[in-house]
Amino acid sequence: MLNGKTALITGSTSGIGLGIARGLAADGADILLNGFGDADEIERLRGQIADEHGVRVIYHGADMSQPAQIADMIETANHEFGRIDILVNNAGIQHVAPVHAFPVERWDAVIAINLTAPFLMTRAVLPQMLERNWGRIINIASTHGWVASVDKCAYVASKHGVMGLTKAVALETATTGVTCNAICPGWVLTPLVQKQIDDLAAREGLSADAARVHLLGEKQPSLAFTTPEQLGALAVFLCSDAAANFRGAGLPVDGGWLAQ
């Protein structure tokens, strides 16, 4: 379905972003990977995705808190691929602390990467999508784009902001072939979350299964993690003709979190 299309996915060297990159590549899209990590491992991933799916895959290490690096990444994608058809704003960071003790520099960093970067990316790629009258902008928000949790003021504020950005862009493009939607995951089994499970198990003397249930139990009624692969499949759907009239939606993939 996506043969001839190109996709830029921020924060795609691991976790959710990598799952989405794999899903889009499996459907034929050329891919620009972005993110941090070991250079050899990133090159291995790049080659593996390219070989497995017969698509072009390039990498750019732009720091999403740096507007100049964002601009360079977009220029690289346009130079190498000639276009950007699909933009997935996935890169994000977290910091946990009560509001009264939340460091201002961490607030600024979370807002820069989680909210300002998606704005800058969208602002840069939207004109070419409108010119071709086709494009897909997918923002990875969170259940925290709808509800809050304690000690996560910057993350919650940024993800609520992402939902507002999604809706505004969707309305501005409503009569065009460009759509903008958000995916709102709950707990997703990524390497970072697995580390939280392992740390919890060690700290509380729990088995791995018990630690998983403990972590999920407060928020996610299904007691099952969403996988990056499931989110990748949803991203592919949002790029399809079947989703052409999904506009400004925030799609929860949260095991019932928001139903409570």
Active site residues: 155
CA contacts within 13 A on the Cβ side of 134? 14
| The residue type at 214 | H
Strand, coil or helix: 200: helix
Residues 6+ apart with CB under 8 A from 199: none
Tokens of residue 65, six digits:
């808190």
Residue 192 neighbours by CB distance under 10 Å? 11
| 32-65 b/e (C-beta count within 10 Å ≥ 16 → b) | bbbbeeeeeebeebbeebbeebebebbbbebbbb
Distance CA 94, CA 154 (A): 8
HSE at residue 23, side-chain half, CA atoms within 13 A, is: 24
Task: Show the beta-strand stretches assigned E in 141-259.
Answer: 178-185, 250-253
